Each structure stands twice: as structure tokens, then as C-alpha cells.
Amino acid sequence: MARVTGMWVYQSLGEPPDPDAVAGRAARHGMRWITAEAIVGGEVARQDWLRGMRRATRERGIRLGVHGFVGRPRPAPTAEAKTMSRAIEIADADFAIVNAEKEYEEAPGPVSKQFVDAYRSLRPRFRTYFSSFGRPKFHPGLDWAAWADGGFRGMPQAYENLNAELLKPRLCVDDYARFFARDTMRPTLGCFAEHDQGHLPLKRLVASVREVPQLTFNVYRHGTVTKAELDTLDAA
């Protein structure tokens, strides 16, 4: 069974990619789900595109998730929880991913718990992942326990391409396991270039998956992941 089963579609700027092109690419590489960016600036964005993603994925038997980076320009947890719930409704999504990072880590007050409480009052049992920094130990100011206690599943940003020493998927999974059930995690591989750091060598990309047995992975993201990376992960 394939170990890399999902792909992020993140497109805050410019025109979003064609739903059929994205879903077709995912299907060719055996992906079982796609997550589409649904929230920009605290609002549900590109609603017609989200509906198009739902149609395109459904036609190919692929699950669709929605994701949003919360906290921008500043945390508004109750309002952001309502917006995420609205995005799920518009896209008829199968699951959701909440991405909270620096803004929630540095905000005063129990903003993480406030989001979780508001969200679970609206979506008490909806499958939802928490995507954030790769290593909780380096970000103790973020209330990781609030998300785990709220039934969110861990989705470590295991961006080894940005820090080969500290962000190997194996290390990220071990760190997240202090809060989240290991067998429900879905680590994210970094398939992009940023901050003068390039893509991982293909051999190392495959090795990083093999070092974490049993779990399935997803890739960040359509638009930067290369055909060579997807082909190599398929073959592995």
C-alpha cells in the first residue's frame, strides 16, 4: 500500500489551480485525499473553486479536506472556528486541517482552547487534524495539549528540507507523540524550496518515510512538489 497518500493545495496568492488538473495529478500518483486551502484573511475564500475541487475529487474517488491558517492578522479563535466550520459546509469536506503557528503561540490568553471549544461545539466529531511546527519541544508557548484534548489528530510539519538535523519525520513524530496518538498522525513532507534551502535529495526523501514505519504521509504541496519526487515516492 502506498505510504504517501495525500497532498496539500495551498494558493493564497494568484489564481488557484484547475480542480481537474490537481485531482487528475493526485489520482495518477495514487493519492487518496487532497486538502484545499479554504480560509484567507479570516474568511472562506474562493467558494466556487472549493465546490469545483469537491466535484473533481468526487469524480475520481478522492477525499477532499479543507485547511486554513488561523491567527492572521491576529487570533480571533471563536470567529475562526465558525469560519472553518462554514468552509467544511461549503466544500462538503470529508475532513479538515487547522494550521496554527506563531500567532497562536505568542497570543495572550487561552486562544487554542477557545478555538477548540468553539469548533467542537459546532463539529463535535468531525475528523480534524492539527498542523503546526515540526517539534513541540521548540515551541512550548503553544498549547499543544488543548488541541490533542479536543480530539484533533497530529499532523507534524516534518520539513526536513528546511532543517535536516532537527526536522526529520522520525523526530517530529516522536515529539508529537507526547500529545497526540501516534497511530492517527499524518506527517507532512516538505517538497519545496525556501530560505535558501532546496528540495531534499530523492534518496533521502524516500529514506525519511521509511524511517517512520506504518504511518502514511502527505506532501506540501501541489505547485512545488516535482514529478520526480512523486514518481520516486510511488516507486518506493
Inform me whether the pLDDT recorded for 7 exceeds 70.
Answer: yes
C-alpha cell at 3: 505510504
Q: What is the pLDDT of residues 203-224, one digit of tens each?
A: 999 999 999 999 999 999 999 9
Among candidates 47, 43, 96, 97, which has minimal Cα distance to 72? 43
Model confidence at 11, pLDDT cuts 50, 70, 90, reads confident
Inform me whether the pLDDT recorded for 78 exceeds 90.
Answer: yes
The CATH number assigned to the domain with range 4-235 reads: 3.20.20.80
Domain ranges in the chain are 4-235
Whole-structure pTM value: 0.97
Inform me whether the pLDDT recorded for 1 exceeds 60.
Answer: no
Beta strands of the chain (E only): which ranges? 4-9, 33-40, 43-44, 63-70, 95-100, 128-132, 153-158, 188-190, 217-222
Query: Euclidean distance between the first and final Cα of the chain, in Å?
Result: 10
pLDDT averaged over every residue in the chain: 96
